Chains A and B, each alone.
Chain A
Amino acid sequence: MTDKIRKKWVLHFPATNSDKPIAYHLVKDFNLVINILQATAQEETDSFLILEVIGRKKDIEHSLEFLRQQDIEVEDMEKGITLNFNKCIHCGLCVGLCPTEALTIDHLTWEVCFNKSECVVCDLCLKYCPVKAIEMEFLK
């Protein structure tokens, strides 16, 4: 349960390929959990699909290979974590859960600090913060 990662992709389909059941293959062949955020299939122009995919690192890599073989262009949308200090009660639960040094406690003031550059977006803090002070942002 811990080694799964989450990605947000924009898939650009070539006009000839738009009716292939791509989502089906991602789920069936690569064990990914997918969440379709937006889909379009406009005639005569490129169609695209915005997906959130969750799966093991290896499966995600293999699915990327598969998508490229289908001439589907995959655009990775970076996502990041933000800490909403209006909600945070500085309890420190996330600090112990965080597998990196992205969340730490200043032992002079006992304030919880967030260092984005250390964050690997594992989502643990997002899932378990008791006041939902951790928020996810998608950056294009």
Chain B
Amino acid sequence: MFEILPCKGHRDGVPEMRVTYNQLLKMVLEKGIKETAKQVDSVALGVFEPLENVVLSLNISGLHIKPFSAKLQNVPLYNVSSDTFILGSQTLAIDDGMNSHFPGEFAYGGAFLIEDLINRAQLDLRINGYPNDVHDKQEVRKFITNEDVDRAQLTIDVVYPQALNAYVNSTENYKFSENGVVKTNFQTVNFRSNGVLQLIYEIKEFVSEVFVAGAKGSILFGDNGYKIVGDFKEMDTLYISGLSLKGYGIYLAAGIGIVVKAENNQALIEKILSNEARAYNLFDIGIKKDVGTIPLAQLKKPTVSVNNLEVKTCSLTSIYLAQKISEKLIVS
């Protein structure tokens, strides 16, 4: 049996009942959907997985230079003004060997730099600029830490709708992908998302709170996706991790939490539960061919059946940390 943890907020003098995604699944099994919808006020959803389209903007004043190129710890930055730089989470350090010795290690780049910044590491900043009447320097080389950054914002851009892929590999060679290494002869099926980032868009009108990597975030919905923005200075490496995907590249995995208001809204609860049935494209990465679809609920099991073979599931989405984040949201 699970316990509903106390949380802040009241409705008609009764403490708000906020549950996590996993608690909601269990509650519906025990009490049925009608009763659950009556009792639950809000649901906390969590994500911790490798993310696409993450940029960090860094504002560093007092550099006295008009930059044309910049790098931090050998990772290129884009200068968008004389004191603001953009770092891409998947940008590689300029001396990265990439896949020259296949499969490459992809040991350092934007995502790791983001982690190092939060950890207050000393980082090597090198800027080249051009002369003008305002800025006197043409070269800056100094060590900085997060303390030297005046303002920083992490932005995650989520595209909707986005096909979610699960890979199998029918060949005799390992395949290296954004879902991790896919073993040979249908030994593994690899996926990387718990579907919640797509779900958030589908229930966008009910989103009430956003948590991003330890900071309070804000969310902006558009016609084909949304952006989550958070104050980088408040972020915590507990919820952020650089990932090296061998033979493929670098990713930032970050924790995102969302609270949705669900008061007496059975349709919303049904929508949230339907995330378990979300269909992933099953794609044979060895021969680049679609082989069907598979629901998330199956991928969450230790093995699934593909072509009558028992195939082990390999995930890159941390359901454990997603759960921890949603637990944090029901008590904070």
Contacts and interface: CB of A to CB of B under 8 A. Distances in A.
B206 interface: no
A92 B313 contact: yes
Most buried by A among B48, B190, B302: B302
Contacts of A104: 302
Contact of B181 (A110, A128, A131, A132): A128
Given A92-B313, A93-B314, A127 B188 contact: no
A91 B317 contact: yes
Interface in A91-108: 91-93, 95-97, 104-105, 107
Interface of A is mostly: loop
Contacts of A1: 174
Interface residues of B, number: 30
B315 interface: yes
A97 B317 contact: no
B245 A130 contact: yes
Contact of B241 (A110, A128, A131): A131
B181 A97 contact: yes
Nearest to A131: B241
Nearest to B242: A131
Contact of A111 (B242, B253, B302, B320): B320
Given A110-B323, A130-B245, A91 B318 contact: yes
Contacts of B251: 130
A117 interface: no
A107 B188 CA distance: 18
B312 A96 contact: yes
A109 interface: yes
Given A97-B188, A128-B181, A130-B180, A89 B313 contact: no
7 smallest A-B Cβ distances: which pairs? A96-B314, A90-B320, A130-B243, A110-B320, A110-B319, A92-B315, A96-B312
Interface of A: 1-2, 89-93, 95-97, 104-105, 107, 109-112, 127-128, 130-132
